Structures are given as C-alpha cells and as structure tokens.
Amino acid sequence: MADGRAITAAAARYVGDDKIPGLVALAARGDEVLVSALGTLAIGGPPVQPDSIFRIASTSKPVTAVATLALIQEGLLALDEPVGRLLPELAEPAVLRRPDGPLTDTVPARRAITVRDLLTFTFGFGMVAEMFASGEPWPVVLAAEELDLSAIGPPEPARQPDPDTWIARLGSLPFLAQPGERWMYNTGASVLGVLLARAAGRPFPEVLSSRIFEPLGMTDTGFWAADTSRLATSYRAAPGGLEVWDPPDGAWSRPPAFADGAAGLVSTVADLLALARMFLRGGDPVLTADSVRAMTTDQLTAEQKARGGLGADFFDGTSWSFCQAVHDNGSFGWDGGLGTSWLVHPAHDLAVIVLTQRMWDGPSLPQVHRDVQAAAYAELT
C-alpha cells in the first residue's frame, strides 16, 4: 500500500512564500487515493486543506466539452451541424487575409462553423504562438482587448460582458483563419458556453450543474466560490517575489456576467477526481462510452496540427481531442495557467491532480506538476 510520501516530497520542494505558497496534490488509482495539502492559502494565511478551492483556469475546458457531448447525446445539438442555427452572430464570419493584417482586409468564410470546430479549437479564432512573438500587437488582438472579450490571455471574469453581448462582439471581429483550417487555442470553449446555454434554454452554469456537477457530486465546482474562506489567493511572479493577482474577495467571489467555459471555474481535487473517475468508468452517469472515446482520441488532421500549436514542439507526443490534450502514451487531460493540472491515464486507472495558486511563469507546465506526476506514476504503478 502506497503512503504518499514520495508525492508529498515531490511537491514540498516547491512550497514557500517566495515560490508556491500552497498546493493540494492528489493521486488516485482505483479506490486508493493519496492527498497532500501543503503550505498556506495566502502568504501568512491559514493552512491549505484537502478541500481548499482553487481557480482552475483552462482545466475548465474539459468540463465544457463534457457538457457539450451530453447535450449532443440528448439531441439538442449535432456534432457536425453549423452553429449558426443557435449563434447567428457567427453564421457568416469574415476572415482576415493575413492574421496580422488590418481589420478591413478580409474574405468571406469558405464554409460554416460547426460544433466540432468549436470543440477541436479549429473554428478560426484564438491564440497562436505568432501573435505573442510579434513585435507589434496584431490589430485583431487589440480589437478583442478593447471589446473586453478576455479571449487572449488570462481569464478576467470581472471584465467580460453578458453572453449575448460577448458573442455579438466576437461576431463583429474578423477571424484569423478559415473554419477548419488550423488549431487556435482557447476561444472555442468560451463560445461553447454561449452555444450550450441557447441549446438547453438555461444559463450555462445551470447546464453544467444539471449535466455534470449534480450527477457526479461535484459540490464545490462553479464559476465563483460561495465560501471564500476556502479560496486560495492567486499570485503571480513579480520583481522581488510574488504579488497578489486575485484575492479571495476578488473576481471569483461573486457570479460573473459571463460564465467562461474556457477558463472560468473554481474547483477542488475531490471534484476533479470525480470527473476523472467518470472517464475511467466509461462515462456513467454523464457520457456514453462512445462520447468518452471521442474525448480521449486525436481529433485533429495533420494539416491542422502543422499550422497550429502554442510553440514549435506543442504537438510532439501530444494531440487534441475535444477541449483537452491527448498524449501518445494514452493519457489525457489539460492544465490551467493560474496553477493547475489534471491528468488521467486509463491504462493505469490513474488520475493525478495538482492545484496551486501561482500563475505560470511561461507557456510550459511548471516543474512541480511534472515532478508530482512522475512521483505518482512511480508510487502507484
């Protein structure tokens, strides 16, 4: 029987007021669950507990995909239907001739955007490596920022407008690529939240609650923390140490105007384990086995991968299914830039979850997550 000491030791090296103030690491195989809660919820604050709440940022994306497939199973959506039926704002997008070109230099979209395009992040709008390497901000990036879409960069729930306004503003912009042409990160999951609300006739948070959170007992997952005493302070690196990026009474302490399916959720390790076990047990009671298979297999073409990614080596050993990565070794999951990771490996019946409150310093998964994952594999497999 594993005792979790290796996982705790792997995490403890990174915990400190000038590193990561606090974290919760969980590794589970079958019914065996190991949890380590280290450090404090804030510098000088109370200790982290196993049920502490963290902003999970882009680890929200697989949750949004699960809800999408649940509505497809119900017949409220079809995977390859044009989204214009429910999102007329995106029915006839204009596309930039050059992604870094002027907003007026466009051509019509060659085909309609489909639900599949949103799930695979190939609908034509999102983050690409080139926009961050550019010496001058691209006009479309500046326009998206002026419209408060928060589609490019960290989540900002206090800025985003209501869903109808958000989707209308997105639809007013030209897209960066033709539908289906290339993989572009993030925004597809934000659009899905608006689409699902309209398909179900209920606000997106209620769609997630009824289709996922209630069936799986995910009582602490949502777009805001009702109990802010359990919510970790969010930090980012600054000269001389760390600075507060979002306090417990900040942007995630109240319901947002826009429930962002790309990066808006808070959660706990127990809730994310429930999501992982849903996949490991074949999808019941949320998804069918076919839906689980779709979410855990490569859904991109070689051409889409050749022109996509968040760096030259992004697709080395990794591809993309529906709102999450799939790896050549059979594992899958996705991480959040505010400090989280969620990894599931069916061949080992293994789930590894690491929640921290330190924003990533760069585009790559921080080493603490890699070390905890390695320790979990060593200790449990």
29-62 per-position pLDDT tens digit: 999 999 999 999 999 999 999 999 999 999 999 9
Report the amino acid identity of residue 45: G
What is residue 260's predicted lDDT score, i.e. its pLDDT? 98
Token reading at 123:
């609908």
- Average pLDDT in the chain: 97
36 and 74 inside one domain: no
Other Cβ atoms within 10 Å of 108 Cβ, number: 10
pLDDT tier at 133 (50, 70, 90 boundaries)?
A: confident
Dihedral of alpha carbons 88, 175, 146, 232, sign: positive
Last residue of a domain, one of 159, 179, 200: 200
292 and 173 inside one domain: no
99 and 12 inside one domain: no
Q: Name beta bridge partners: 150.
A: none
Pick from 1-10, 81-90, 271-280, 334-343: least confident: 1-10
Q: Is 260 helix (H, G, I), strand (E, B) or coil?
A: coil
**145 vs 269: CA distance, rounded Å:** 32
What is residue 193's predicted lDDT score, i.e. its pLDDT? 98
Dihedral in degrees, nearest 10, Cα atoms 252, 255, 261, 262: -30
What's the number of CA atoms in the CB half-sphere (13 Å) around residue 136? 7
Last residue of a domain, one of 200, 228, 253: 200
What is residue 86's predicted lDDT score, i.e. its pLDDT? 98
Identify the H or E element spanning 341.
strand 340-345
Indicate the number of domains in the chain.
Answer: 2
125 and 226 inside one domain: no
143 and 217 inside one domain: no
Burial of 117 (0-12, 13-18, 19+ CB in 10 A): buried
**122 vs 279: CA distance, rounded Å:** 24
Last residue of a domain, one of 200, 228, 248: 200
80 and 37 inside one domain: no
Q: What is the mean pLDDT of residues 86-99?
A: 98
Q: Tell me what percent of the residues of the chain surpass a pLDDT of 90.
A: 94
Scan for tokens 């989540």, then name that residue.
155
Q: What is the mean pLDDT of residues 259-267?
A: 98
92 and 110 inside one domain: yes
Other Cβ atoms within 10 Å of 224 Cβ, number: 18
42 and 116 inside one domain: no
What is residue 26's predicted lDDT score, i.e. its pLDDT? 98
- Domain of residue 264, CATH code: 3.40.710.10
Is pLDDT of 1 > 70? no
pLDDT tier at 372 (50, 70, 90 boundaries)?
A: very high
319 and 342 inside one domain: yes
Angle at CA of residue 69, ends 207 and 365, nearest 5°: 90
182 and 207 inside one domain: no
Token reading at 282:
């074949």
Helices (H), 98-230: 115-119, 129-133, 139-146, 163-171, 187-200, 204-208, 214-216
**297: alpha, beta or left? (left if phi > 0; alpha if psi -120 to 50):** beta
Report the amino acid identity of residue 324: Q
Is pLDDT of 324 > 70? yes
Quote the domain boundaries for residue 184: 67-200
Q: What is the mean pLDDT of residues 290-299?
A: 98
Q: What is the mean pLDDT of residues 100-109?
A: 98
Segment 181-218, tens digit of pLDDT = 999 999 999 999 999 999 999 999 999 999 999 999 99
What is residue 312's predicted lDDT score, i.e. its pLDDT? 78
Is pLDDT of 121 > 90? yes
153 and 296 inside one domain: no
173 and 133 inside one domain: yes
Q: Are 166 and 194 within 8 A, CB to CB?
A: yes
Q: What is the mean pLDDT of residues 365-373?
A: 98
pLDDT tier at 310 (50, 70, 90 boundaries)?
A: confident
Burial of 82 (0-12, 13-18, 19+ CB in 10 A): middle
**277 vs 256: CA distance, rounded Å:** 29
